[in-house]
Amino acid sequence: QKEVEQDPGPLSVPEGAIVSLNCTYSNSAFQYFMWYRQYSRKGPELLMYTYSSGNKEDGRFTAQVDKSSKYISLFIRDSQPSDSATYLCASRFGRGYQKVTFGTGTKLQVIP
């Protein structure tokens, strides 16, 4: 079983829709949770970063972590064609530990 599981998609939505991207993880020791966005033929770039449970909002993006159910979510409001990319969730242990464990990514297409 992978430590971080993610539905590969692809997910196709019309412009302006609310997008929900989800991951589950198996290791309860994970404390930091991240979402990376990867455009085609590019490296991943950090989109959102949260510690432990709760919500974090940044513009149209909201990251949510529920540690009781080991569930990580990313919501995109008013989705734009420029949001079309692969979204990778990632987790790591506490401060001082190096390894980041990535999900396999969900490919999102926003249709104009």
Asked whether the beta carbons of 108 and 86 are under 8 A apart, the reply is: yes
> How far from the centroid of its chain's Cα atoms is residue 83's Cα?
13
CB of 37 to other proteins, least distance (A): 11
CB of 16 to other proteins, least distance (A): 29
Residue with smaller CB distance to other proteins, 101 or 109? 101
DSSP letter assigned to residue 52:
S
Residue with smaller CB distance to other proteins, 48 or 79? 48
Extract the tokens encoding 61: 């993006």
CB of 19 to other proteins, least distance (A): 20
